[in-house]
């Protein structure tokens, strides 16, 4: 479990102090998939760096499994519990082969050669990178989607309990995006705790079971996707949107089509429309 207790962060500079994150209380239970939304400058990246110990809070404390990460010994163990992938993690590829790149984290953690090899193979399998095809390939000669998956395999190879993702599908084509989101969903189903920042309300609605909304460095809403996206007027007032399915359902309701609230995905919307049509409660010509 990861908990932030009154955590804030202020950047110091010669031009003056800037508060990037106002005091925040947040608990992420094991197995949670937390989606974080907010505009550029809302504090999302600062929050992610505080979670994984790259930044130390100006106030409050970050606690991982009951231990305060202000303790250097706890911080030194964080890389075994928390994995983080920044936007465009493929920019951090550096080794001559994919396998060597993925092996860096486990090897640096002092694992045996046998265990490192096991971790590399498992990570490649989970990221759908066939070992025979990709292990000895140069990471710099892969496609964009393959590079992204190879970089994430390097994070996964340390076997983190919590995976933090900052816009993981940025820059990917539709096929690569769909494949990566499917893999991320599998991670969470296997029990891994996920924190993901995304500008896609549809992705957050489909994958997350908790949502945090940030505005100007403050948490302005927390809740389930149904609770958060059910407040469409508020989200629009801070220039955020709602999932396409939620928007379309609201438009249909305004035309008299009796749809339930809480429709977050196109699949659930289609099912609800089909149910109403089959029940005969509305005309197919509406």
- pLDDT of 134 > 80? The answer is yes
- pLDDT of 121 > 80? The answer is yes
Residues 162-196 have pLDDT tens digits of 999 999 999 999 999 999 999 999 999 999 999 99
Q: Where are the alpha helices (DSSP H) in 32-128?
A: 44-51, 72-77, 98-108, 113-126
Q: pTM value?
A: 0.92
- Nearest-angstrom CA–CA distance, 104 and 95: 9
Residues 232-284 have pLDDT tens digits of 999 999 999 999 999 999 899 888 888 888 889 888 999 988 888 887 666 54
Kind and range of the H or E run holding 271: helix 266-279
Q: Span 140-162, mean pLDDT? A: 95
Residues 3-15 have pLDDT tens digits of 999 999 999 877 7
Kind and range of the H or E run holding 208: none
């Amino acid at each position: 479990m990861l908990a932030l207790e009154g955590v804030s962060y202020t950047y110091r500079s010669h031009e003056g102090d800037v508060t990037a994150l106002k005091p925040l209380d947040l608990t992420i239970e094991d197995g949670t998939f937390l989606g974080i939304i907010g505009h550029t400058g809302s504090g999302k990246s600062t929050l992610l760096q505080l979670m994984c110990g790259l930044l130390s809070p100006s106030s409050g404390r970050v606690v991982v499994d009951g231990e305060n990460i202000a303790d250097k010994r706890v911080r030194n163990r964080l890389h075994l519990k928390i994995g983080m992938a920044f936007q465009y993690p493929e920019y951090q590829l550096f080794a001559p082969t994919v396998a060597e790149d993925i092996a860096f984290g486990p090897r640096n953690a002092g694992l045996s050669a046998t265990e490192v090899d096991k971790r590399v193979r498992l990570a490649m399998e989970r990221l759908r990178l066939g070992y025979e095809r990709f292990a000895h390939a140069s990471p710099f000669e892969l496609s964009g989607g393959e590079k992204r998956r190879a970089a994430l395999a390097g994070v996964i190879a340390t076997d983190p309990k919590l995976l933090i993702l900052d816009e993981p599908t940025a820059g990917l084509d539709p096929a690569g995006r769909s494949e990566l989101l499917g893999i991320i969903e599998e991670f969470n189903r296997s029990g891994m705790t996920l924190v993901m920042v995304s500008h896609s309300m549809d992705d957050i609605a489909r994958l997350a079971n908790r949502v945090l909304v940030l505005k100007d460095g403050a948490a302005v809403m927390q809740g389930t996707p149904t609770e958060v996206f059910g407040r469409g007027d508020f989200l629009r007032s801070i220039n955020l949107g709602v999932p396409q399915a939620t928007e379309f359902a609201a438009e249909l309701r305004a035309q008299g089509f009796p749809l339930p609230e809480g429709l977050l995905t196109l699949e659930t919307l289609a099912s609800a429309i089909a149910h109403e049509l089959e029940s005969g409660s509305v005309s197919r010509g509406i």
